[in-house]
Amino acid sequence: MKLAFSTLGVPGLPLADVLRLASAHGYHGVELRAHPEEPVHPGLEPAQRAAAAAEFKAAGVEVLGLAGYARVAAPGADEPVIAEVRGLVGLARDLGAPFVRVFPGASDDQSPAEADAVAARRLGTAAEYAADLGVRILLETHDSHRTGAAAMRVLGLVGHRQVGALWDVMHTWLGGEQPQETYAALAPYLGYVQVKDIASAEDTTPLALGAGVLPLAECVEVLSRHGWDGWLCWEYEKRWYEDAAPLEGLLGAGREHLGRLLNESA
């Protein structure tokens, strides 16, 4: 498996510094938070996109994917959501990134069936555009669809190879799903896996990998046992927790911890 980290852990850090950290600590790739407050976002001009792609190439680090904020099940008109996803897909193509992350984002006022249908309709439409550009859209296990079983309901309706799943291990755990159950649900659709650690269900402040309660060893063991050979991406949510320790000082130990888990499950 290849290892990456998300720029959510180093909010606003210049791209050159992000790449320096990835290279120094042995990470193969980076997941870019695609937001206007970050160096890389859909508002970049073509020349800026080309320059960013060139920086990654020169550093020998891959752009794993773009972490976007489109909410594909949210109430409202389809077109603004589809346009947002298309914007992310176009940026991913320009950067050479294989994946784009979207959220479910259904509201409490929607029934599960209604939310599933809305998400599937929008994803199915965006999938045709993504197919032309060679990018895959991944629905993250998050918010209204935090388990693999919930995400699978949407993905089964879409039925398009350019739409898959992003497994966030915290949300499936908070949803009461065991790693084997999540993998069984998402295996046909799995793009990559976001790993992290937290103190408890009540305190989701990010911790160093292995310092919390999330079943990281079980997740890696399940993936290895089934021969899955994709990406593990450390999403350290420093952006939302100012008191969390700086990610820069944890990256080396995090890389070593994941390496141990991979060796133990081999």
Q: Residues 56, 100, 161, 125: what is their CA dihedral angle, to the nearest 10 degrees?
A: -130
Sign for the CA dihedral angle at 174, 203, 75, 135 comes to negative
CA distance 84 to 41: 11
Residues 65 and 95: beta-carbon distance below 8 Å: no
Angle formed by the axes of helices 179-186 and 216-225, nearest 10°: 40
Q: CA–CA distance from 187 to each of 142, 143, 222 (Å)? A: 17, 20, 11
Residues 102 and 72: beta-carbon distance below 8 Å: yes
Note the pLDDT of residue 265. 87
Q: Is 110 helix (H, G, I), strand (E, B) or coil?
A: coil
Give the H/E segment covering residue 119. helix 112-133
Domains and CATH numbers, the chain: 2-265 (3.20.20.150)
Sign for the CA dihedral angle at 173, 176, 182, 186 comes to negative
| Letter string b/e over residues 51-61, b meaning 16 or more CB atoms within 10 A of that residue's CB | ebbebbeebeb
First-last CA distance in the chain: 11
Question: Which residue spans within the chain are E strands per DSSP?
Answer: 2-6, 29-33, 62-71, 99-103, 136-140, 163-168, 190-195, 231-234
Q: CA–CA distance from 254 to each of 31, 249, 257, 263 (Å)? A: 16, 10, 5, 14
pLDDT (tens, 9 = 90+) of the chain, 266 residues, equals 999 999 999 999 999 999 999 999 999 999 999 999 999 999 999 999 999 999 999 999 999 999 999 999 999 999 999 999 999 999 999 999 999 999 999 999 999 999 999 999 999 999 999 999 999 999 999 999 999 999 999 999 999 999 999 999 999 999 999 999 999 999 999 999 999 999 999 999 999 999 999 999 999 999 999 999 999 999 999 999 989 999 999 999 999 999 999 999 87
- Please count the other Cβ atoms lying within 10 Å of the Cβ belonging to residue 245: 14
CA distance 224 to 230: 10
